[in-house]
């Protein structure tokens, strides 16, 4: 593509979209294009969109509309929309936005290179949105990674659950798992490139299944655990209904699998859970938390909560509030219900007024802040194994890394530590972050104990007794 030299990708939404953007960037770089940090300077701009809530959709659409109206004034020769909005709205987007050249669906992204060539050569505007149930596999691609430390690896596409509020199955299609060998090969390449952490991605990784190998998600974790050079394995998202004993055992026994799990509950009222089609009760969810905490005591558990689902009464909401107090998640993503056309729940009356949704959300946020603060305070004085990710956003002089339990820690240290696991003593704790100091060599006797306790407190927490 001689006339095109540079590209920029704007990404909204979940980590699967992040990974899709990395794959698209890899494709564009293989065609000779160079990444530029500003969309205004790029020949090719891709906006990778999310429509999970109305707010997300408005943000993405607003950005595309801005870029489309600025297109004539800038460098942009090809403006493309990918991701869940592209899948959902297809051709309609070309009609709505005359300066958009390409709309590319969620299972068509591997064709990005040829499609852009076609747009440039023919001057046509193109909609490439295939049936989402047609599996399109890229194999192991050259991927342009945006993080130097965390390697994202999509292990399955789509979702079969059709929770009644959720648009994802409509935009990502049915579940398809990548073969174990392909995932392992990609992880091996990451290790060769110097990555020490991988995040295995899927909308519901617990239902991963490689038919040929008869391997489920716990088996996949065991296979990835064997890859030399990788130190940490994470995964998102786990559906509580598919969280098996075998998976809990895998977290407890595989040394690289980190002690953290994102386990979205959505609501605490059994009536609401039924109407959401989540297939578990509040009691079953609490039992699952007990099993996880019993087997992996240092595990950090996070969740997603929706307030104001259609017909959620005050009493239903109190059940969610009560569950928050009992579950004591390390942190929670909390949302007001937003009807998504095409989903089952969007056929029901959005009965909870906005003001009431806001009030319920605020109560949840206040409670969760308190719980997160209390839980993190328990880490004060402990030494944590921290994988350094980057310089801190707030201060160039500081580094940001994460504990195995996925908590962000800010501390002073040289940038040469980025990508390394170091020991940090926690000196201050807040609801969302921890502060600490790098443990000096003089304390290396403690280092020897880090990670050595394979049973129970396998987490790299070492009490210093101070
Ligand atoms: N696959 C993941 C979540 C995908 S969407 C899972 O099964 O949990 C991420 C989160 O967005 C969901 O967990 C849910 O809490 C929230 N969400 C999805 N649809 C929503 C809607 N219509 N309104 C508000 N929140 C929504
Ligand atoms: Fe959406 Fe439910 Fe699938 Fe998660 S499991 S992506 S919430 S339908
Ligand atoms: Fe959004 Fe699609 Fe992910 S709707 S949350 S980008 S699967």
Report which bound ligand comes closest to the CA of 53: 1
Q: Are residues 363 and 412 in the same domain?
A: no
Instruction: Give residue 135's pLDDT.
Output: 64
- Cβ–ligand 3 distance for 13 under 6 Å, the answer yes
Q: Are residues 197 and 120 in the same domain?
A: no
- Cβ–ligand 3 distance for 238 under 6 Å, the answer no
Residue 94 in contact with residue 100, Cβ under 8 Å? yes
For the record, the structure tokens of 94 come out as: 């070309």
Q: How far is CA 132 from CA 124, 135, 211, 242, in A?
A: 23, 7, 20, 23
CATH number at residue 437: 2.40.50.140
Instruction: Give residue 132's pLDDT.
Output: 73
CATH number at residue 174: 3.80.30.20
Instruction: Give residue 350's pLDDT.
Output: 98
Q: Cα separation of 161 and 295, whole Å? A: 28
139 falls within a domain: no
* Residue ranges lining ligand 1, Cβ < 6 Å: 52-53, 165-166, 168, 203-204, 237, 239, 264, 266, 304, 306, 335, 337-338, 340
Instruction: Give residue 136's pLDDT.
Output: 60
Q: Are residues 357 and 435 in the same domain?
A: no
Q: Are residues 219 and 352 in the same domain?
A: yes
Distance (angstroms) between ligand 2 centre and the Cα of 267 equals: 14
Can you list the residues of the chain whose pLDDT is less than 50?
441-466
Q: Are residues 297 and 397 in the same domain?
A: no
Interval 155-166: pLDDT, tens = 999 999 999 999
- Cβ–ligand 2 distance for 164 under 6 Å, the answer no
Q: Cα separation of 105 and 93, whole Å? A: 12
Instruction: Give residue 75's pLDDT.
Output: 83
- Cβ–ligand 3 distance for 343 under 6 Å, the answer no
Burial 235-258 (b: 16+ CB within 10 A, else e): bbbbbbebbeeebbebbbbbebbb
For the record, the structure tokens of 270 come out as: 């059994």
**Pick from 356, 352, 365: nearest CA to 324:** 365
Any bridge partners for residue 387, and if so which?
Answer: 402, 421
Q: Are residues 364 and 334 in the same domain?
A: yes
Q: Cα separation of 262 and 260, whole Å? A: 7
Strand order, beta sheet including 300-307 = 260-262, 300-307, 331-336
Whether omega before 140 lies within 30 degrees of 0, making that bond cis, reads no
Residue 143 in contact with residue 112, Cβ under 8 Å? no
- Cβ–ligand 3 distance for 17 under 6 Å, the answer yes
| Total domains in the fold of the chain | 3
144 falls within a domain: no
Residue 202 in contact with residue 238, Cβ under 8 Å? no
180 falls within a domain: yes
Q: How far is CA 330 from CA 239, 261, 263, in A?
A: 17, 10, 11
Q: Tell me the best of 51, 52, 174, 273 to mutate to test the pocket of ligand 1, counting ligand atoms within 8 Å of each CB and taking the most.
A: 52
CA 286: distance to chain centroid? Answer: 23
Quote the domain boundaries for residue 420: 383-460
**Pick from 352, 354, 239, 254: nearest CA to 295:** 254
Distance (angstroms) between ligand 1 centre and the Cα of 193 equals: 33
Interval 427-462: pLDDT, tens = 999 999 999 999 964 343 333 333 333 333 333 333
For the record, the structure tokens of 285 come out as: 């969810």
Distance (angstroms) between ligand 2 centre and the Cα of 232 equals: 26
CA 29: distance to chain centroid? Answer: 24
Instruction: Give residue 122's pLDDT.
Output: 94
Of 349, 376, 403, the position where a domain reaches its end is 376
Any bridge partners for residue 437, and if so which?
Answer: 425
Instruction: Give residue 139's pLDDT.
Output: 74
Q: Are residues 104 and 249 in the same domain?
A: no
Residue 312 in contact with residue 271, Cβ under 8 Å? no
Strand order, beta sheet including 197-201 = 150-154, 197-201, 232-236
Distance (angstroms) between ligand 3 centre and the Cα of 175 equals: 14
Instruction: Centre a 10 Å sphere on the Cβ of residue 465 and count the other Cβ atoms it contains.
Output: 5
Instruction: Centre a 10 Å sphere on the Cβ of residue 437 and count the other Cβ atoms it contains.
Output: 14
């Amino acid at each position: 593509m001689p006339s095109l030299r540079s590209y920029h990708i704007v990404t909204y939404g979940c980590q699967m979209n992040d990974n899709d953007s990395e794959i698209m960037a890899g494709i564009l770089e293989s065609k000779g294009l160079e990444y530029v940090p500003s969309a205004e300077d790029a020949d090719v701009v891709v906006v990778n969109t999310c429509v999970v809530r109305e707010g997300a959709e408005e943000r993405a659409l607003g950005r595309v509309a801005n870029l489309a109206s600025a297109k004539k004034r800038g460098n942009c020769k090809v403006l493309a929309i990918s991701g869940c909005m592209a899948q959902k709205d297809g051709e309609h987007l070309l009609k709505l936005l005359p300066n958009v050249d390409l709309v590319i669906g969620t299972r068509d992204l591997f064709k990005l290179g040829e499609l852009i060539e076609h747009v440039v050569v023919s001057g046509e505007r193109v909609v490439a949105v295939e049936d989402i149930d047609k599996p399109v596999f890229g194999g192991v691609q050259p991927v342009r990674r945006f993080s130097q430390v965390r390697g994202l690896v999509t292990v399955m596409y789509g979702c079969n659950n059709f929770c009644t509020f959720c648009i994802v199955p409509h935009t990502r299609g049915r579940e398809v798992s990548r073969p174990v060998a392909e995932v392992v090969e990609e992880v091996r390449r990451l290790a060769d490139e110097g990555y020490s952490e991988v995040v295995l991605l899927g909308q519901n990784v617990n239902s991963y299944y490689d038919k040929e190998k008869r391997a489920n998600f716990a088996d996949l974790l065991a296979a990835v655990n064997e890859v030399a050079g990788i130190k940490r394995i994470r995964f998102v998202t786990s559906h509580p209904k598919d969280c098996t004993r075998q998976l809990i055992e895998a977290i407890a026994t595989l040394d690289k699998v980190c002690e953290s799990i994102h386990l979205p509950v959505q609501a605490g009222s059994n009536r609401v859970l039924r109407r959401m089609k989540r297939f578990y009760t509040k009691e079953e969810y609490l039992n699952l938390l007990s099993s996880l905490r019993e087997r992996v005591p240092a595990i950090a558990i996070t969740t997603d909560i929706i307030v104001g689902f259609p017909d959620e009464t005050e009493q239903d909401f109190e059940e969610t509030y009560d569950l928050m107090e009992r579950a004591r998640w390390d942190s929670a993503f909390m949302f007001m219900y937003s009807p998504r056309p095409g989903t089952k729940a969007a056929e029901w009356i959005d009965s909870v007024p906005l003001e009431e949704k806001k009030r319920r959300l605020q109560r949840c946020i206040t409670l969760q802040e308190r719980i997160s603060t209390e839980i993190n305070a328990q880490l004060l004085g402990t030494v944590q194994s921290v994988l350094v990710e980057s310089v801190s956003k707030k201060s160039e002089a500081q580094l940001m890394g994460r504990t195995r339990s996925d908590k962000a820690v800010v501390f002073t240290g040289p940038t040469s530590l980025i990508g390394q696991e170091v020991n940090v003593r926690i000196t201050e704790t807040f609801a969302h972050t921890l502060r600490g100091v790098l443990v000096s060599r003089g304390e290396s006797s403690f280092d020897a104990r880090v990670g050595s306790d394979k049973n129970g407190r396998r987490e790299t927490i070492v009490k210093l007794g101070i």
